[in-house]
Structure formats: C-alpha cells, structure tokens
Chain A
C-alpha cells in the first residue's frame, strides 16, 4: 500500500484515494465475482478494518466519505465493517491464523453464517444454555439443540456458544466457536411458524466434531466474545432501522431526513391502512372508533418523533436513552394496531386466505406483532433494561448467581417438534 492510510488520513485524501481506485477498477454496469474479489482485496469494502486484514485502517467517520465516492461513481457502496458481524467478531477475537482463514471467504460471500445462540431452555436467560462442548484432544465434541436460528439452511457456518465448564457459575463456563455446518451430526429443521412461514430453524447438534482451531477467544471466555458479537449485531440494526448509531448518523443522514418526511403518516399498522379501513367499513363517524384510531395514530407519531429526537441528540454527541425505547414502543403500536384493524373488520376478521384478503393480512400481522414483543428480547426484558440501565433501578436478586451451573435449576434441555 503506497498511499496514506490509517486513522490520520484526511477526508480529502480518502476521497481522492477512493476516486482514483474506482476510476481504475470500476466500470459502469460492472459487478460480479471478479469485481467483488478486487474490491475486497483493495480494502475499500471495509474501510475501518486494519490494512493487513482487508481494510484501510480508516476512522469510522470515513465510512461516509467512502460510501459517497462509491455512489458518485455509480458503484454500490459496501460496508462490510458494518454489515459483516461474523468477520467483525473474528477480527476482534480471532488469532491471525483464524483471520487469514475465515475472513476472506466471508467477505466474498463464499461463507455465510448463522447464529447458534438461543435454546429451548435458554431464551431470555441465554447464559443458562445447555449445549455442551467437551474437549477431546485437538477437537471438541458438541451436543445440544439450538433454536430460532434464521438463515441456518443457507449458512455454511455458525457462531456457536456452548458450555465447556459445568462447575462454575453460568456466565463463566461458556466458549465461543465458528463451526462448519456440513459436519456429521448437524441436523437443521425449519420451524413451522404461526404465520405459516419458516424463517426460523432448529439446529440439532449430536456429537459434532469441531476442531479447536475453530474456537474464538479463550476457553470459558465465550460470554465476552458473545457480547462483542451482539454489539456488532446492534450496529447492523442501528444502521438499518434507525437508532442513534454514529454510522447511521454519518452515512444516512439525508436518507433519514427523507424517510422522516415521507413515512410518518403511513398507517399500515395492524395489517391495513386503518384510516382508509375506517372509511371503507363506514365506521369513520363512530365515536369509539375515532378515539381508538386517534390513540393508535398518536402512538405511531410519538414513536417516530422519539426516533427523530434520538438522532438529533446523537447528532450533538449525546448518547440518547431514546434509542432504547423504540422496540418496546413499537410493540405497543403493532399490538394496538391489530386490535384496531380487527375491530374495524368486525365479524369479517374471522375469515382468512382468499376468502377475505384484508382479514388475512390483519391476521398475519396479528402474529407478526409477537416478533416485536418476543423476538430479540421480550417486552419484559426490555422493561428490565430500561429500568436498570437507564433509570438505574437495582437488579432483581439472582438465585443462580455464584452457583455452579451444574447445581442451578434448569429448563428442560430439549424439546423436539414432531
């Protein structure tokens, strides 16, 4: 690398470097595997990664600059240092050998990951997981069951957290792995969800042999690696859905403002545009309906304003607690929305499928609402987080604290869906 790189590079320098590289390498209408390979090896696909590991060693503020130059040249910006949570975590905790072996195939898209975290007996209390990894020379023998794994059928590998020491308290005996899924003993089964879809899977692991070279971080230090991985997951969610992340603020400010202008008055909550539905069902003049709709509309609006306020706060460099309330607020919105649209439909809401497509959509949304109120931390866990981390209220005493996990009362280890 001959040009100036690293955290000290100025915006002008970076801009010039990206533009020069694109001028040489990007052809309008281009793309494809060869372009992807050149892009990965150039470091511009992950500007903040170290120079020796497929990056440019730039400050995170430069992501915006790089993305702008790509867009200017008509090329799609790629920010693997935001979106590639697997590579991000491996770069944070892996050995040089692991970085060499694992990162490039991920960056190229040859390897795809999934998250083997939750278990039937470990949902909100993830540290109570019971999948075991027992050492056998240079390998580990893994057995257990993971659940709610999205993308497992498309994945080549998975981040696995498993118990390696049963004689210490629950957080301390866990170890983190990057495991190949094409091994004997890995059985992936789609979950038949209430929505009719199957985005999630169960992953059964039976005496799966995993090389020790696939362990990330120290033995029994998996909880810390997991926190890093969860942090990168939040970075993605922040970039995709709002919140206050620096990346979003820098990279997406204009898009955000545009979205705020366009979207706040959208009303497709609860599976239908509830204001239109009130008109078509002849209930626009009904006093009770008007109250319910005004309430729902208000919840929707204030949540959108909270998001705008969080971004304005983070724009001033203040970490905004508002970023933490969006999920809980959205849960109330979607469940309230379903109640409103169901009431508007009345008896017709019992229909489904082609019999009444509007009712079908409302019914589908009624189940989808639980994705918000259960998935990614239940409403009750969200309230604990708000209470403890934002308001500073003391934690509930934990009966399994400082107790060897072996002696802790556990949920049933496995539950097989027939």
Chain B
C-alpha cells in the first residue's frame, strides 16, 4: 500500500462513515447537540461501535477492535470533520492512541471498553496556561507502586463525559501519561464556556487521584510520539472541515446572483475559491502523507506531524473565513452554518498546539 494509494477497503470505509454521519448528524442534529447538556448520546455512541466499529477501528483485534492504523483513522476523522460531528470521537481516539501497545494488564480492559462503545475517553494534556507539550505539565504524580495525581488540567476535550481520562503528569523522571478513572475520588470537573460549541472542553481538578501509568519512565520520547500521532489525527479532521467549508462557498458562489450574474463569475470571488482549493487539497495531502508516515513507522513523522497540524489549522481557518466572506451578510446570521465552521476552525487551530508553536517545532526538527 504505497503512500496516497487508497484501496477499495478505504473507499468503502469512507463511504460508510459518510453515510452514517450524514444520516445521524445533519445540521439540525448538530445544533440540537450544541444546545444539549451533553453532546454525547450513549445510544448513538453504542450504535457507532456496534454497527460501524468506529471506536474500535484502531484497537487491536485481540481487544475486540479492527486493528486498523493511522490511514483508516484519518479517513474517519476527515469525514467527522466535514460535518462538525459533536461528541467525543476524536477525544476517545486520541486516548486510544496512548493505550495501544501498552502493558495489557493496564490497557486491555480500557481498550475492550472503548471498542465495545461502553467507554468514552479523553486526553488531558494542557493546563491553565494552555501549553501542549511536556514543558507545560505541572500536574504532579507521586508514588511508586500506587500513583496519585494532584493538579489542574484544562482545555480537556469532552472532559465532562469521559469515563476514562489519560492525564499527563510530572514525575521525578519526567512527564508520563496516566490512566484515571472518571469516577475516581478527588476528581472534580467543570465545563468551560467555549467558542466552538461543537467541541466541549472541561477543567479537571485532581486532588490525590489514583492513577495508573501508561508510559514508562524515560526521556519523554513516548510522549512525543503520542503528540505526533495526535497532531496528525487533528490535522485530518481539520482537512475534512476545510473541504466542506470550501464546498459550501463554491455552491453559494454558483447560486447567489448579484449585478445580474452568479457571484462566482466575478474573479474576486472565483480567485478566493481557487486559492482555497489549492490550500484545501494541499491540506489533505499533508494529512494523508502524515497518516501514511505514521503507518509506515517513518522517521519523517517527526517533521510531518507539526507541519500538518500547523498547515491544516491555517488552511481550515482561512477557508472558513473565505466561506463567510463569500456568503456575505447571510453568514453573519446565527441560523446559517458558516459560523459553525469558523468556530471549529478558529478554536481547533489552538488546541493540541498552535500553528506558530508547531512551526517552531518544525523548524527545530528540520535542523534549525
């Protein structure tokens, strides 16, 4: 399976996910969930696992998953991103990435629960200062055989709904990832007011909460590898959102008439769309290339991951902005969906590492 060579299985996966998403999450449903107390509907979550096996897609087969890899995950996330599907799919996928390959004694139950649709999971990385790499982690992990976490994590996606939280915490030997049960004593969560209502965030306070280490002590290379996988997962979701925002802009440019002609015939509009097309296709290429790099275990991943996250973030934001501009006044109304993409794009760019931070990391990783 060479890079960019999507198989029939890939196309079938894309088609089935697209069908599911369009049927299950039309705009009306997305808006209903935005206003609901929680975007998570357990019945839908279970159906997603039972009928499509999406939560178990990347879970190894011995734990009830499909054992698929980064390319398949990218396809699903791209499709979810296109329709701004609310709820904890991305969060759970990121948590799953931290569990795969770990000590079965710790991870087996979690992976089985995720694959079966019983467990919603998330990853708590950032804290109040909003940093996303190991250097920003102040939450403390104490213990040896039995670990206890104390600190405050913030910007935790779907943190209110998660049954399992993977928490980055500092030990004497560096930053490690820990599994924390959502019902553990000493865990308190509060929902944050957020700009992107399709992605809920929470603040999570930990006061001596029992936790199980997922990564070995060491130099943080495992943590970096997880971050790279997370960056590329998010990039794929952003590429999907950008693609849909462009499609909206183009469709409107064909149908909206001013000065006696479709506005898409004006070069001012046409050229915005053409530039967005170049960007969006490039973003998809970056996300796909990254997915294949991870799947192949390529050393290129270290550069491609921050590159793709920065680029797909910027492209999604630019395209969402172009989409609003092409729509003109109607895009300024709450009823029109253009602002939903703008919100997702603007917020998503800053989650899991800003474009500026990612570019600086890329510069380091290409030798500067």
Contacts of B262 in A (CB 8 A): 393-394
Choose the segment among A119-127, A144-152, A162-170, A383-391 that binds chain B (4+ C-beta atoms closer than 8 Å).
A383-391
Write the nearest CB–CB distance from B179 to chain A, whole angstroms: 34
Q: Is the CB of B250 within 8 A of A287?
A: no
The answer to whether B265 and A394 have CB atoms under 8 Å apart is: yes
Of the four ranges (under 10, 10 to 19, 20 to 34, 35 or more), the interface on chain B belongs to 35 or more
Query: Using an 8 Å CB-CB cutoff, how does the interface string of B270-285 with A read, 1 for contact, 0 for none?
Result: 1101110110011111
Cα-based distance from A290 to B362 in the complex (angstroms):
9
Q: Please, which residues of chain B bring their CB within 8 A of the CB of A309? A: 4, 284-285, 288
A383 to B268, CA, bound (A): 10
B231 to chain A, nearest CB (A): 13
Question: CB-CB < 8 A to B253: which residues of A?
Answer: 393
Among A284, A306, A316, A388, contact of B368 (Cβ-Cβ < 8 Å): A284
**Measured between alpha carbons, how far is A313 from B288 in the docked complex, in Å?**
13
In whole angstroms, what is the CA distance A316 to B270 when docked?
A: 30
Q: Residues of B contacting A287 with CB < 8 Å?
A: 360
Size range of the chain A interface in the assembly:
35 or more
Residue-wise interface mask of A (375-408) relative to B, using a CB-CB cutoff of 8 A (1 in contact, 0 not): 0000010111011101111111100000000000
Distance A5 CA – B359 CA, assembled complex (angstroms): 57
Contact B356 A329 (CB under 8 A): no
Binds B, one of A131-139, A244-252, A293-301, A366-374: A293-301
DSSP majority for the B interface?
helix
Question: A391 contacts B273, CB within 8 Å?
Answer: yes
Q: Are A393 and B360 in contact (CB under 8 A)?
A: no
Instruction: Tell me whether A386 and B286 are in contact in the complex, defined as CB-CB below 8 angstroms, given that A394-B262, A394-B264, A397-B261 are known contacts.
Output: no
**Residues of A contacting B288 in the complex (Cβ-Cβ under 8 angstroms):** 305, 309
Interface string of A258-281 (1 = CB under 8 A from B): 000000000000000001001100
CB distance from A374 to the nearest CB of B (A): 16
Given known A-B contacts A308-B3, A393-B250, A387 and B266 have beta carbons under 8 A apart: no
**8 A Cβ contacts from B239-297 to A:** 250, 253-254, 261-262, 264-267, 269-271, 273-275, 277-278, 281-286, 288-289
Contact with B along A196-239 (1 / 0, CB 8 A): 00000000000000000000000000000000000000000000
Instruction: Assess whether A297 is in contact with B366, with CB atoms less than 8 Å apart.
Output: yes
Chain A residue nearest to B360 (CB atoms) is A290
Interface SS of chain A: helix, strand, loop or mixed? helix
The B-contacting residues of A in range 317-374, CB under 8 angstroms, are 321-322, 325, 328-329
- Chain B minimum-CB-distance residue to A287: B360
Min C-beta distance of A253 to chain B, whole Å: 11
A16 within 8 A of B: no
| Chain B contact residues, CB within 8 Å of chain A | 2-6, 250, 253-254, 261-262, 264-267, 269-271, 273-275, 277-278, 281-286, 288-289, 304, 307, 310-311, 356, 359-360, 362-363, 366-368
**Sample of 15 A–B contacts (CB below 8 Å):** A279-B367, A294-B307, A301-B307, A305-B289, A308-B3, A308-B285, A309-B285, A325-B281, A328-B278, A380-B271, A383-B267, A384-B267, A384-B274, A391-B270, A394-B265
